[in-house]
Structure 1
Amino acid sequence: MSEEVSRLARAALLPGFAGATAPRWLLDELERGLGGVTLFAINGNVPGPDALAALTARLREVAAPIVTIDEEGGDVTRLGGHVAASPYPGNAALGAVDDPDLTRRVYRSLGAELAAVGVNVNFAPSVDVNTAAANPVIGTRSFGSDPELVARHAAAAVAGTQEAGVAACAKHFPGHGATVEDSHLGVPIVDADLDLLDRRELVPFRAAIAAGARAVMTAHLDLPAITGGVPATLSPAVITGLLREHLGYRGVIVTDALDMEGASGAIGIPETAVRALLAGADLLCLGPREHADSVRAVLAAITGAVRTGRLPLERLADAASRTEALRRPPGAPAARPDRAAGLDAARRALRVTGTLPVFAAPPLVVELSADGNIAVGPTPWGLGPFAPDAVRADGSPAEAAGLVERAHGRGLVIVLRDAHRHAGQRALASALLTARPDAVLVEMGLPVWRPEGTVHVATYGAAAANARAAAELLELTAA
């Protein structure tokens, strides 16, 4: 019995690991029944497509693991290893275009790229309805603020991904779009009862489920009217009540990373793992820093909970049966990478307010610093690759005079990223516009802050495709 319990417990785990080759401990755990792995660029797991394909092939020499990754396209991209931005725009741009066929095409191509390197589950799409403009972690990862718009693109994204032979995972259930706190750092609160959830957050999840999403990811947030202070990932009322019973979902339920403060900050990862399984989760994403030691600690907690009768063995067996099905592809891959879809979407997403100037000489491009959130990571962004004289500014009005002097006699382009969330960006941009009202603002996040009377370009994302589309529009590069 103890061997069976250990095997079932392992089947629920998705740890991370360091490096571009599989460590011995990981291969040993896979042979013993480990569910799979989650690939992280920050761990050095994604050095390039050939090396990644070799890595996943090595994993499959010893088992048939679930190989997952966070590849949303847009701002949250892992395939570039945090060195290169994505050739596909993210959800905000796709929502701005509002062509579900195009969304399906983009996700099909993205899925084809994942399948080519051996990834069989993508932690995407994000189907959160972003109703909080100041949301620090969703933003351009969302298709928009209208539930019906998000729903039709959620269905298209799921369909496109799975047409490429990769399982789609709709996230972050029951919806992270109405929060103003990052669940990496705390437990966000969504003040919504079941009626509001049904009209807003749950609409896209219904669509994703109807489209056949093989997995759904839970969020580490609190809905006081439903969970009573417990994060959704640990709440039977959310996982079993809302997702299983209310929405009728029968596929795999996977947690967001358990190392996040919103999940385990108060109780630790091993206890969080047990509570998530008790709540109804099937797969536990442990997080980028959780390797061999964490696997051992979590296994001890789970097997101990079974031994004492706290966690029914039947609950583990139920989870394992679902995850076993997830190992099988959702269909024969019938797609090839189509990066032209990404650039097409980025071009169609551009929105211009005012009349663009014609630059007689290359303009000075000033990019105002804006670090991505934890989910985004250190991926490069901006128009710098297309501008021979681009400058990065910290975001202080004191920098304005020097920049204005440097731009004397030529055009000025000011590049922002979520300026509505960064006071320094707004302050410096305002100072520059006072001196140079002819400057062009390029917003590469959500276009919430738009100074009246300014020529404004919204890209709805900072992916490589968004940058190229904006550069073409401004004639910074050949089309």
Structure 2
Amino acid sequence: MAVRQTRLIGLLVAVTAGVVGVLVWSPTDTPAGDPVAERQPATSTTPTTRTTPATTDAPTSAPEPPPTPEASCARLIGKLSQRERVAQLLMVGVDPSSPDSAVQVAGDEGVGGIFIGGTDPTLLVDDRLDAVRKAAKVPIAISVDEEGGRVQRVEDLDGDVPSAREMAKSMTVAEVHKLARDRGAALHARGVTVDFAPVVDVTTQRDDDVIGDRAFGSDPAVVTRYAGAFARGLRESGVLPVIKHFPGHGRASGDSHTGAARTPALADLRRVDLLPYHRLLGSQRVAVMVGHMAVPGLTGNVPATLSPATYRLLRGEFSFDDIAITDDLGGMQAVSSRYPLPKAVLAALTAGADVAFWSSGEQHLDEVLDTLERAVADRTLPATRVTDSLTRVLRAKGACRR
């Protein structure tokens, strides 16, 4: 993600479809897919008691079995036009100074998520996001980029958070968990449902390098403990954590914000950079952000976000079946200098991403949607590929159960 100087970013809130009510992406450890009421902290749960009706001698018809998750999602998907379906797979940066941009993106265009970047806090105060949620036909995710240190969006509203490296140096794992839970609660109260954090890259870079102090350290075990605590705190507060940047930017040569970046070979990544993913993806529900690095032995010279091999690795070796989000396809030159935005979005979704993200605004949205509609019609983007990702997205937002 872009560092503090560029201030490009922010993400996800949910508004229900039809009469379903208002929901948010469900990052908690409640039964997967169960809706979480908007702005109700995930830690405040009410036990549900199931009762069995008393048996009588009168014949009764057998109750209709509950729908399977696939049928439940299929019914919702069946109500959407093809344009609405592909729109749900997009995360679009909006103007943070007014709700007008976000309302248009959510209501008129029906996108699945918005990103709130920059330093203007207008959209995050005085319940202005209510209008965005009300405009959406399907639940909408609202995201920000709140790591701490040089990548923060609400420090002027809710106080400063130290960088990941500083946390690991000066705080216990338990203290980082509490910090993330408190920060997540503040974000959740403002209407945010997704945080593009924590960074799980492993690095020895100096503080001001591309990853640098955004990472918890150079030891995969330390990164795993601290990033896991941070992610758990966010999730407990009702905010979906997005761990990044798969399969590892911390030891890459180059900066994907400004140009091409290349990681060590895949075999080397398996020994270091991928170790935190093995632990974190098996222990808690998170989303994963895929970075724009080329990976020798996996993607060749193609950015990982646009390579089918990346998603095969994530779904196969890591058995990951939750949301895979791209890094910024419009504001990072590892991709934007080589591909126009509509082509990059199409390539990412075709490769296996569930959500294609760009921060540069809705001015490109119609062109992107036109491109995706044509691609589904001519089978460049298979309808099954859209359905797979759309099902994951709707499940994560609580619109249909797992």
Bin for the TM-score computed over the shorter chain: 0.7 to 0.9
CA contact (8 A) 1:173 1:217 kept: yes
Distance verdict in 2 for CA 1:25–1:248, change over 3 Å: closer
Q: In the aligned structure 1, how far is the partner of 2:206 from the partner of 2:279?
A: 23
Q: Secondary structure at the match of 1:187?
A: coil
Q: Normalising by the residue count of structure 2, what TM-score does the alignment of the two structures yield?
A: 0.74
Q: In the aligned structure 2, how far is the partner of 1:132 from the partner of 1:207?
A: 23
Q: Secondary structure at the match of 2:125?
A: helix
Listed as ranges, the matches of 1:269-418 within 5 Å are 269-287=341-359, 289-291=360-362, 293-328=363-398
The equivalent of 1:476 in structure 2 is none
The equivalent of 2:325 in structure 1 is 254
The equivalent of 2:195 in structure 1 is 122
Are residues 1:146 and 2:146 paired?
Answer: no
After superposition, the C-alpha distances for 1:421-440 in whole angstroms (9 at most, x for unaligned) are: xxxxxxxxxxxxxxxxxxxx
Q: Secondary structure at the match of 1:41?
A: coil
Q: Give me the CA root mean square deviation.
A: 2.3
Kindly state the Cα deviation for residue 39 of structure 1 after the two structures are TM-superposed. 0.4
After superposition, the C-alpha distances for 1:215-256 in whole angstroms (9 at most, x for unaligned) are: 1001011112211110000011112x2211111111100011
Q: Secondary structure at the match of 1:88?
A: coil
Are residues 1:109 and 2:182 paired?
Answer: yes
Q: In the aligned structure 1, how far is the partner of 2:186 from the partner of 2:372?
A: 35
Q: Secondary structure at the match of 1:148?
A: helix
Kindly state the Cα deviation for residue 20 of structure 1 after the two structures are TM-superposed. 2.7
Q: Normalising by the residue count of structure 1, what TM-score does the alignment of the two structures yield?
A: 0.63
After superposition, the C-alpha distances for 1:274-299 in whole angstroms (9 at most, x for unaligned) are: 11011110111111x221x2111111
CA contact (8 A) 2:294 2:304 kept: yes
Q: In the aligned structure 1, how far is the partner of 2:202 from the partner of 2:347?
A: 27
Q: In the aligned structure 2, how far is the partner of 1:254 from the partner of 1:225?
A: 22
Kindly state the Cα deviation for residue 180 of structure 1 after the two structures are TM-superposed. 3.9
Listed as ranges, the matches of 1:147-226 within 5 Å are 147-194=220-267, 196-226=268-298
The equivalent of 2:149 in structure 1 is 74
After superposition, the C-alpha distances for 1:185-218 in whole angstroms (9 at most, x for unaligned) are: 1120112223x22221111122321232331001
Q: In the aligned structure 1, how far is the partner of 2:298 from the partner of 2:213?
A: 27
Q: In the aligned structure 2, how far is the partner of 1:208 from the partner of 1:172?
A: 13
Partner of residue 47 from structure 1, selected from 122, 146, 150: 122
The equivalent of 1:242 in structure 2 is 313
CA contact (8 A) 2:95 2:116 kept: no
Distance verdict in 2 for CA 1:275–1:85, change over 3 Å: same
Q: Secondary structure at the match of 2:146?
A: coil
Identity %: 32
CA contact (8 A) 2:96 2:123 kept: no
CA contact (8 A) 1:159 1:211 kept: no
Are residues 1:22 and 2:99 paired?
Answer: yes
Kindly state the Cα deviation for residue 91 of structure 1 after the two structures are TM-superposed. 0.8
The equivalent of 1:385 in structure 2 is none
After superposition, the C-alpha distances for 1:26-62 in whole angstroms (9 at most, x for unaligned) are: 43643553101000125x3x238534xx222111112
Kindly state the Cα deviation for residue 68 of structure 1 after the two structures are TM-superposed. 0.6
Task: Read off the aligned partner of 2:93 and give its amino acid letter.
Answer: G
Structure with higher Rg: it is 1
Task: Read off the aligned partner of 2:97 and give its amino acid letter.
Answer: A
Distance verdict in 2 for CA 1:61–1:151, change over 3 Å: same
Corresponding residue pairs, total: 319
The equivalent of 2:88 in structure 1 is 11
Specify every segment of 5 or more residues in structure 1 that has no aligned partner in the other structure, as ranges.
330-479
Q: In the aligned structure 1, how far is the partner of 2:164 from the partner of 2:172?
A: 12
Specify every segment of 5 or more residues in structure 2 that has no aligned partner in the other structure, as ranges.
1-77
Q: In the aligned structure 2, how far is the partner of 1:2 from the partner of 1:186?
A: 41
Task: Read off the aligned partner of 1:143 and give its amino acid letter.
Answer: F
CA contact (8 A) 1:13 1:285 kept: yes
Q: Secondary structure at the match of 1:262?
A: helix
The equivalent of 2:115 in structure 1 is 38
Task: Read off the aligned partner of 1:197 and give its amino acid letter.
Answer: L
Q: Secondary structure at the match of 1:67?
A: strand
Q: In the aligned structure 2, how far is the partner of 1:298 from the partner of 1:202?
A: 32
After superposition, the C-alpha distances for 1:106-140 in whole angstroms (9 at most, x for unaligned) are: 11111011101000011000110013448721111
Listed as ranges, the matches of 1:425-436 within 5 Å are none
The equivalent of 1:401 in structure 2 is none
Q: In the aligned structure 2, how far is the partner of 1:98 from the partner of 1:192?
A: 33
More relative contact order, 1 or 2 (CA 8 Å, 6+ apart): 2
Q: In the aligned structure 1, how far is the partner of 2:232 from the partner of 2:109?
A: 33
The equivalent of 1:65 in structure 2 is 140
Task: Read off the aligned partner of 1:159 and give its amino acid letter.
Answer: R
Task: Read off the aligned partner of 1:242 and give its amino acid letter.
Answer: L
CA contact (8 A) 2:94 2:101 kept: no
Q: In the aligned structure 2, how far is the partner of 1:233 from the partner of 1:89?
A: 29
Q: In the aligned structure 2, how far is the partner of 1:2 from the partner of 1:112?
A: 34
